[in-house]
Chain A
């Protein structure tokens, strides 16, 4: 079993739609949860990070963590064609150094 599971997609939505991206993880020791965004032929860039359970909002993006079910989500409101990219969830355990990434979900937002 992989430590982080993520559906690779692709996911195609019309402009303006609400997008939901999800990951599950296996180790309850993980404490920090991140989302990276990767445009084609570029390196990933940190989009959001959260600590422990709860929600965190930044503009059109909301990251949600449910530690009881080991489930993390990223919601994108009013999606734009410029949001088309691969979204990778990532996790890190407290005191650790190794960031573990999911497979990434390819998102296409159609104008």
Chain B
């Protein structure tokens, strides 16, 4: 596809359930990011993948959150035992550099998660 693709676009789940969010980055982009956007809170960095290097997980809010990137392409963000405070829009972005001078982030449209 031409852009970053995320699925599902909307997810409603019950507290305590696990959810998986998928991101398909732009072909050839080596860097992949997950951000979380809550109302009035801006974009909160969660995790960063660059090529085959170990991911930077410094933004993950708790051990209920994990992410993986298979084959250097598709990524899955997993939230276990969801809580109401996990409700937010989860945005994935990819980049074709180390986000330096030309490292524009290309975002998907996000996965809107609602935990009841």
Residues of A within 8 A of B (CB): 4, 6, 8, 32, 36, 41-46, 49, 51, 88, 92, 95-104
A72 to chain B, nearest CB (A): 15
Q: Mark B38-50, 1 if CB is under 8 A from A, else 0.
A: 0011110100101
Partner of B45, one of A8, A42, A46, A98: A98
In the complex, chain B residues whose CB is within 8 Å of the CB of A51: 101
B19 located at the interface, meaning its Cβ lies under 8 Å from any Cβ of chain A in the complex: no
In the complex, what distance in Å separates the CA atom of A44 from the CA atom of B108? 8
Q: Are B109 and A103 in contact (CB under 8 A)?
A: no
Give the residues in chain B near A101, CB-CB below 8 Å. 35, 42-43
Q: Which residues of B contact A (CB under 8 A)?
A: 4, 31, 33, 35, 40-43, 45, 48, 50, 56, 91, 93, 98-101, 103-105, 107-110
Query: Is the pair A44, B107 in contact by a Cβ cutoff of 8 Å?
Result: yes
Of B4, B100, B101, B103, which is within 8 A of A43 by CB? Answer: B4
15 A-B interface contacts by CB (under 8 A): A6-B42, A8-B40, A41-B110, A44-B91, A45-B107, A49-B104, A88-B43, A95-B100, A97-B48, A97-B99, A97-B103, A98-B45, A99-B99, A99-B105, A104-B43
Count, A-B residue pairs, CB within 8 A: 58
Given contact pairs A44-B105, A46-B105, a sample of 16 additional A-B residue pairs in the complex whose CB atoms are under 8 Å apart: A4-B42, A6-B42, A8-B40, A41-B109, A43-B4, A43-B93, A43-B109, A46-B104, A92-B99, A92-B100, A95-B100, A97-B48, A99-B33, A99-B99, A100-B45, A103-B42
